[in-house]
Structure 1
Amino acid sequence: MNTYPSCALMIGLLALGAGPAQAHSADEHAGHGPAKPRLEATRVTFADVPLTDQAGKPIRLEKDLLANKIVVMGFIYTRCTTVCPVVSSIMGKVQQQLGGRVGTEVQLVSISVDPLRDDPPRLAAYARQFQHGPGWSWLTGSSQSITATLKGLGSWSPNLLQHPPLILVGDGNSPHWTRYYGFTDPAVLVREVDELSSLHRKARRTVIAQDVQP
């Protein structure tokens, strides 16, 4: 599977990410520039802690968003003007390509790594730059809840400026997910969603067939 975006795509994604940005510290994401995309299998756990979405609604990650869904998940903070807008733009393109499947069989999730500043109104304003319909939750919470959530997902960093460009894709019913580092082509993420959806449907058909056997 080719995870390397073309030069034209990379330039386009960088342009999308830079559009709404303001001038920012040169130290932001120091050492984490647009590295070549790579992927790795991982095992995740879902911390059962209270979170809040961009509408101020209380959320439990696994119970309310992930169960029985194929999930595409990113990590951002709204003050970031380099890596995070590009990651969010990639996820926005995934949402556009999946269309009405998002919100039904697919759930998009973006988790703020800066919960002290990213309250629900701030996340809602940020989300409007990238979101193209329902099925995309932007989450914040207490520092303790966010830390527990990120550690369970293997995405915690003691310094938010150092968090890498990262998107996770997986089945919400399984602990076995895939990490995509760097600026991954949205089409690659969509193919992964399609493969997981096919496996998910096949597993459901097997369970139903077993249930109806005499």
Structure 2
Amino acid sequence: MNRIASVALPLAIFLGLAASTVIVAGRVLPSRQAAALAQEPVDLPDVRLTDHHRREAALVSELAGDDLLVVTFNYTSCQSICGVGNAIMQELDKAVLPRIRRPVRLVSITINPMVDTPDILAEAAREWAPSERWLWATGRPGDIDKVLRQANARTADIELHELVFIVGDGKRKDFRRMPVNDATVSGVLAALDGYGS
């Protein structure tokens, strides 16, 4: 199946969601409003991940560090919601994040670490042309399970996994799960804006 066919339905869903919201740009919300935009606190574990460049780093202390962080979940053979998540991350990476004052790290974590090696992730990532700020990551299965549990990301049926975005501030160690309806480019941007500079 070619790339166009594999993302047509998810992309149509993404465009429908995006059309129902307005991108929030050029304004900074107080941090309590950021919490309101992404309400469910997440205690992200500081597990070691390996990205699609074969570089290892700890999720919280190194990848987030003192920067803003956006995490979502995918897997390379996905034919369902992953295309929507990837399209949102691509839009953030290409068009939105360059306008944010603080550095932002984007991390797409595989939910299928037994299959998605760094080389396989690198091949999948090429289709989305990520910048250096957007990493596709894998890790030990137990560590990935820990991240998924902490993020309340249900993956019992891998093909029916949810579209989950975690947004946070590494400096404050404040990470929150976006409500499903706000898992859009504008929703993620509004939550990032809420953390200020």
TM-score range, shorter chain: 0.7 to 0.9
Q: 1:61 to 1:96 in 2, by over 3 A?
A: same
Deviation per residue, 1:170-202 (Å, 9 max, x gap) = 212333414142684313322322222x1xx3x
Deviation per residue, 1:52-106 (Å, 9 max, x gap) = 111111121011111211112111011002210121011100112235468x611
Deviation per residue, 1:144-190 (Å, 9 max, x gap) = 11111211222242332231112222212333414142684313322
1:21 correspondence with 2:13: no
Q: Equivalent residues in 2 for 1:65-144 (5 A)?
A: 65-100=63-98, 105-144=103-142
* Farther off after superposition, 169-178 or 68-77: 169-178
Give the whole-Å Cα distance in 2 for the aligned partners of 1:121 and 1:183. Answer: 32
Q: How far is the alpha carbon of 1:45 from its aligned partner?
A: 1.4
Give the whole-Å Cα distance in 2 for the aligned partners of 1:165 and 1:54. Answer: 21
Is the CA contact 2:154–2:162 (under 8 Å) kept in the aligned structure 1? no
Is the CA contact 1:167–1:179 (under 8 Å) kept in the aligned structure 2? yes
Is the CA contact 1:97–1:190 (under 8 Å) kept in the aligned structure 2? no
Structure exhibiting the larger radius of gyration computed from Cα positions: 1
The corresponding residue for 2:166 is 168
Task: Report sequence identity in percent.
Answer: 25
For normalisation by structure 1, the TM-score amounts to 0.69
* Farther off after superposition, 105-114 or 47-56: 47-56
The corresponding residue for 1:146 is 144
1:185 correspondence with 2:170: no
Q: State which of 156, 159, 167 in structure 2 corresponds to 1:158.
A: 156
Gaps of 5+ in 1: 1-16, 23-33, 202-214
* Farther off after superposition, 128-137 or 175-184: 175-184
Q: State which of 39, 42, 48 in structure 2 corresponds to 1:41.
A: 39
The one-letter code matched in structure 1 to 2:127 is Q
Gaps of 5+ in 2: 8-12, 18-36
Give the whole-Å Cα distance in 1 for the aligned partners of 2:95 and 2:77. Answer: 27
Is the CA contact 2:167–2:175 (under 8 Å) kept in the aligned structure 1? no
Q: 1:182 to 1:70 in 2, by over 3 A?
A: same
Is the CA contact 2:108–2:137 (under 8 Å) kept in the aligned structure 1? yes
The alignment yields a C-alpha RMSD, in angstroms, of 3.1
Equivalent position SS for 1:19: helix
Equivalent position SS for 2:178: strand
The one-letter code matched in structure 2 to 1:67 is G
Give the whole-Å Cα distance in 2 for the aligned partners of 1:180 and 1:131. Answer: 27
Is the CA contact 2:151–2:177 (under 8 Å) kept in the aligned structure 1? no
